[in-house]
Structure 1
Amino acid sequence: MPRDDAVRRASTRRAFAKYGGTVALGGLLAGCTDGGGAGSSDSDSPDADTTDTGSTDDDRAESQTEDAADASYTASISPMGEVIFESPPETVFTRLTHHADMAFALGRGNDVTALHAPDYYDGLWNQYVERLPGVSLDWSGLYSSWQPDKEKLYELDSDIHLADPAWVTQVEGWERSDIDEIAENVSPWFGNSLSDRHQEPAEEWADGYQYYGLWEQFEIVAEAFRERERYEALAAVREELLSTIEDNLPPEEERPTAIMIAAADIESIYAYTLSNPGFLTSHTRPLGPRDAFEGSVESGTVVDFETILEADPDVILYLGGMEPGTDMAGRRTAFEEDAVGSEITAVQNDRVHPQGARYQGPILNLFQLEMTAKQLYPDAFGAWPRYESGPYPEIPTDEQLFDRERVADVINGDP
């Protein structure tokens, strides 16, 4: 059965986890070497008792176990604590796209085994990947893991579950015991998602739960994959981008007012905040736009044209507008043809711009920092093209805020 195979392989090539501490490797790794030792029929032979150095089969088994233990390494992330890895993970289970994008950034984008809404996000991410020369990404047809099935995790047999167990246990049918079972029999959990907007974990996970910034968590994940060099190369690109932004931001009183919205149809418009703590705002918070709602609207609040007109933003950022199936021109038209919507300053000045996704990892974050800087501050960073469809627009080289070739090289293994 798949489960039995997973249990067997867990002792030979997996990472071993214990929440809040470490696990002894001796007994688990010894199973790798127990194939023909002192209990075999050849052990009665005079030549089988010793070698030239006087070591026995038991000595050799102990030595091999020690070698395997020496090759192991640890990484630590909340809420799991310290995890011991026997070797860098290859196949990667994810649930949310910030983790899938981290795997992608570390050269394992096509080794992802599961993802929430994989076809949707495959289409969205590839709009940006188009501008990374020589890079490919294919998440289409993967297992959709928003409500993961435990037996499916056995079947996928991934080397790491890059997902937050404190969030997974919020899904119906999942208990802490199920989390522990998968960690023991398949592979460890190593992810943090409640840092998205600093959500409160359930009581069983609350003790010591830590929140991370997007790139802070990416650094930790890179340690789990033994990809420190890749992380540092991408972090340098980001630091240069942030420095460019900081050096050219206009004074706060001269900045535009803005809102971020998402809507599958114009009857249900959801508003999202731009600067609250958490990695969901990691592409807007550094740009410091003024909140047109002035703090009166919380993330996920349903608003209508009247509410938006009352706030009267200078810029509207439209989540999901870069996804291939989104009719961005139609979304603008819906505002323009409405008696109330057409009075909004952003609509009148043609400043309704597309966005990608809030659950961004490092690669999407670079693109979204650039695009949002141009959408908010065209005089400082160069104008954002009027986007309606197709991949991320081609930006003139002298107006690009980060080096695409450099990022592509890192993803492809040349940090």
Structure 2
Amino acid sequence: MAHENSGRTRRETLQYGGAVAAGLGLAGCADFVGQSGEGTPTSGGSYSVTLSPMGTVAFDAVPETVFTVFPQYADMAVSLGHGDAVNAVYVPEMSGTTMNHYYRHLDGVSFDWENLHDPLSDGLSRELLFELDSDVHLADPAWASTQQNWDRGDIEEVETQIGPWFGNFYSGTRASPPEGYDDYEYYDLWELFEGVAGVFDAHERYEALEQVHTDLVDTVQRDLPPEDERPTAVRVSIAGDGESFYTYHLNKPGYWLADTRPLGAVDAFAEEDWGSLWGQVDFETMAEADPDAIFHLWGLTPSRSMSEMRATLRDHPVGSDLTAVQNDRVYAQGMRYQGPIMNLFQIEMGAKQLYPEVFGEWPTYEDGDGYPELPEDEQLFDRQRVADIIDGDI
């Protein structure tokens, strides 16, 4: 498909240093070529970052305009001090409001989402990408090639005429990539974040935040009760018919589970094989599993109502007898599309919901509350330290 500006040369300040084509598989995590630290390009002003499936991407300057689809990348940009560079994010009100639920606890950190484009409102649009003219597209070209009316030629046109792709989608679920990406590599959330930090030449910020994450996970896992004393749990969203649940595994690989996996809860559906990380079950199947705790995915976002969820369970003849309902252990959860800052808060939230006797009670959540203000001595990570890192005070 031709575009009005399809004859323009590649952007002068950014260069794509590798092919999207398969065959550029990587061993292990992201490889950073020529990194010199916090926001300072190497000699000659260029630096390179290597990540599957793109290969090596070379930059002559830190990107000033950034296209994202899923909010984990917008959260990464905020974490690295470049939130104002983002020009698009999936369902801006839902994503932005949820992100700001967390950010309001970090001095000086916020995300201005109100004028952002929704990249999927009418399907992934080449016209929108050309209109935005972004320095980098934090999205997986393998995933983009599967979208309606997209093919490999469109991927190459965007990268050569606008700016490079940089993202990895299929690590979220460890699903198989599309045909032609046989050497696709998988990363966990923080390895992926390391790659994005390379894009912004902000490796020191990444390292500082990664240490906060390591300390948080150590804090949680050090005090977990023995496995046979841990609660059973499920992560669900209620289906539109009100008679079934979409339910998700808790402890499988994939960065969509980066907040539940460290918590070590017993997945009530661990033995279920849905062919992916999620499946659909009815109330009778839920009653057979009868989990101690129910995590309502999206419950902290403006797109789902916890009061409606609780009412649906309470008013259902089977749901009302569930142990989690009877014991008031139906909890709001955030988004599986989580970046590093979202991940910190969601690990803390889940730890308190699962193990209140160890980490302190989780406050009752009502629609619109946002993330609650916790007493300082019950916070599982240092908010001011995180805010300082985002602000560049490493």
TM-score by length of 1: 0.85
Residue 180 (str. 1) matches residue 156 (str. 2): yes
Q: Distance in 1 between matches of 2:229 and 2:11?
A: 60
Pair member with larger Rg: 1
* RMSD, aligned α-carbons: 2.1
Q: Distance in 2 between matches of 1:309 and 1:151?
A: 48
The structure carrying a bigger helix percent of its residues is: 1
Residue 263 (str. 1) matches residue 242 (str. 2): no
Q: Aligned-pair distance for 1:135?
A: 1.1
Q: Aligned-pair distance for 1:261?
A: 0.2
| Aligned residue number for residue 331 of structure 2 | 353
Residues 328-407 of structure 1 aligned to structure 2 (within 5 Å) = 328-389=306-367, 390-407=369-386
Change (3 A) 1:336 1:255: same
Residue 80 (str. 1) matches residue 62 (str. 2): no
Residue 138 (str. 1) matches residue 112 (str. 2): yes
Residues 98-117 of structure 1 aligned to structure 2 (within 5 Å) = 98-117=72-91
SS for the counterpart of 2:181 is helix
Change (3 A) 1:179 1:327: same
Q: Distance in 2 between matches of 1:264 and 1:153?
A: 33
Q: Aligned-pair distance for 1:297?
A: 5.3
| Aligned residue number for residue 51 of structure 1 | none
Residues 36-75 of structure 1 aligned to structure 2 (within 5 Å) = 70-75=44-49
| Aligned residue number for residue 50 of structure 1 | none
- Which segment is superposed worse, 267-276 or 361-370? 267-276
| Aligned residue number for residue 124 of structure 2 | 148
Q: Aligned-pair distance for 1:75?
A: 0.6
Residue 118 (str. 1) matches residue 92 (str. 2): yes
User: Residue 264 of structure 2: which of 282, 288, 308 is its match?
Assistant: 288
Residue 204 (str. 1) matches residue 180 (str. 2): yes
Change (3 A) 1:87 1:2: farther
Any unmatched runs of 5+ in structure 2?
22-40
SS for the counterpart of 1:201 is coil
Q: Aligned-pair distance for 1:324?
A: 3.0
Q: Is the 8 A contact 2:238 2:246 kept in 1?
A: yes
Q: Is the 8 A contact 2:142 2:177 kept in 1?
A: yes
Work out the percentage of aligned pairs sharing the same amino acid.
48
Q: Is the 8 A contact 1:3 1:154 kept in 2?
A: no
Q: Aligned-pair distance for 1:17?
A: 3.3
TM-score by length of 2: 0.89
Any unmatched runs of 5+ in structure 1?
22-66
User: Residue 240 of structure 1: which of 201, 205, 215 is its match?
Assistant: 215
Q: Aligned-pair distance for 1:110?
A: 2.3
Q: Aligned-pair distance for 1:159?
A: 0.7
Q: Aligned-pair distance for 1:130?
A: 1.6
How many pairs are equivalent? 368
SS for the counterpart of 2:234 is strand
Q: Is the 8 A contact 2:11 2:162 kept in 1?
A: no
